[in-house]
Amino acid sequence: MNNIDLRRFDLNLLVVFEVLMAEQSVTRAAARLSRTQSAVSHALMRLRAQVDDPLLVKVGGRMRPSPRAATLLEEVRPILAGIRRALASPEPFAAATSTRAFRVAIPDVSLSLFAEFAARVAREAPGTSLEWVSRDAGTLLAVAEGRIDLAMMPTALGLPEGVEGEAAGVLRWATFARRDHPALSAWGRRAWARWPHVVVRVGDAMPSPVDAVAPGAPARRVATWVPHFSAVAPLLAKSDCLATLPLIVMADALDRYALVALPTPFPIAPMPHRLVWGRRLSGEPGLVWLREHLRAAFGEVLAASEAMVAGRLRPPALRTAPERPIRRMKAG
């Protein structure tokens, strides 16, 4: 096999060769390429020398390809097509006719978030489908490799090579309890520390801001660990447990489960989140469109949720009432 040094090979010769194979005429190929006949003939001569084959031979007044030319064309055509696709400007994303399947990894911090996001997508692109995948330790790698199109992550998590992102919003905190919880009569640090807590286990990649508060803040006594935010409200409704969570988590559950929101008795740093995606697909029109819809859905749900909960934050009690016995969770 004759090895060719690509550093000395003029790849433009392959463009001329592709047109010559299609036209099988130097005259027509020259017209299609907007070149002179002599320039095309010279390019063919150089290519013949490079591959050591006549490639196109004049037979009966027409150019006929050699067996080597047919094989070369089969190999070269998809390569040239790929180069053209890579260099071409991205085509607009036709949402109304698209049938693409998108995979997104977003937290279940709000039951309304994915519903609002899916509704926005369905209105503009009814033929597309959304797959909501769970976030885990491998999510960012999956984003970098293109196996997940879009994810939402805490900003405190560093981004690996091949992933980029943008700010999406900030989660602020409150403590939640059932409406007749005995802690409401004397709310403060002592009550927060005394009563048991429900905690959502979201992974070990970063510490919870609740546990990273200022020195002197009380430690919480965890009674129950759960894997999902949606499990918290039913537990609070049936026990004397508390839960300190972002406001967006409980906005949909306050009335349904007869819960109240209380100001945290010590400052807890807000938790910024960001949208992240694979860098190599950063400008891909369909994913740019998808990002716009998730950004808008999250912004709308976050603003509405926080306005509702913040407006109903129950101030600390002004007097101390006798504490009721702790109500244990009922079995079953």
Task: Indicate whether 190 and 140 sit together in one domain.
Answer: no
Indicate which CATH number applies to the domain containing 214. 3.40.190.10
Q: How confident is the model at residue 260 (pLDDT cuts 50, 70, 90)?
A: very high
When the pLDDT of each residue in the chain is averaged and rounded to a whole number, the result is: 86
Q: Could you say which of 87, 111, 127 is where a domain stops?
A: 87
Task: Indicate whether 66 and 132 sit together in one domain.
Answer: no
Structural domain harbouring 65:
9-87
Give pairs for 69-77: CB < 8 Å, separation 24+.
69/17, 69/21, 72/17, 73/17, 73/18, 73/21, 76/14, 76/17, 76/18, 77/18
Location of structure tokens 């300190």: 244
Closest CA to 276 of 260, 258, 298, 259: 298
pLDDT digits (tens, 9 = 90+) for 20-66: 888 888 888 889 989 999 998 998 898 888 888 888 888 877 788 88
> Coil, strand or helix: which one is 14?
helix
Task: Indicate whether 119 and 265 sit together in one domain.
Answer: no
Task: Indicate whether 303 and 159 sit together in one domain.
Answer: yes
Task: Indicate whether 176 and 242 sit together in one domain.
Answer: yes
> Which residues are within 8 A (CB) of 17 and not within 5 positions of it... i.e. 6 or more apart?
43, 44, 47, 55, 69, 72, 73, 76
Neighbour tally for 308: CB within 10 Å: 17
Indicate which CATH number applies to the domain containing 36. 1.10.10.10
Q: For the chain, where are the alpha helices, taking DSSP H only?
A: 12-23, 26-33, 37-51, 67-87, 111-124, 139-144, 189-194, 232-237, 247-250, 285-310
Residue 243 placed within a domain: yes
Give the chain's domain count: 3
Does residue 77 have a pLDDT over 80? yes
Q: Could you say which of 60, 87, 114 is where a domain stops?
A: 87
Residue 132 placed within a domain: yes
pLDDT digits (tens, 9 = 90+) for 273-319: 999 999 988 888 999 999 999 999 999 999 999 898 888 887 655 43
Residue 166 placed within a domain: yes
pLDDT digits (tens, 9 = 90+) for 136-171: 888 999 999 888 999 999 998 889 999 999 999 999
Residue 323 placed within a domain: no
Question: For residue 6, what is the DSSP state?
Answer: G
Task: Indicate whether 176 and 164 sit together in one domain.
Answer: no
Task: Indicate whether 178 and 262 sit together in one domain.
Answer: yes
Task: Indicate whether 295 and 214 sit together in one domain.
Answer: no
Task: Indicate whether 248 and 265 sit together in one domain.
Answer: yes
Task: Indicate whether 283 and 247 sit together in one domain.
Answer: no
Question: For residue 146, what is the DSSP state?
Answer: T
Decide: 46 and 59 in contact? Cβ < 8 Å: no
Residue 328 placed within a domain: no
Task: Indicate whether 149 and 115 sit together in one domain.
Answer: yes
Task: Indicate whether 61 and 43 sit together in one domain.
Answer: yes
Residue 290 placed within a domain: yes
Question: Strands 150-154 and 101-105, how do they pair?
Answer: parallel
Burial grade of 166 (CB within 10 A; 0-12, 13-18, 19 or more)? exposed
DSSP state letters, 172-232: -EEEEEETT-GGGGG-SHHHHHHS-EEEE---SSS--GGGS--TTPPPP-EEEEESSGGGH
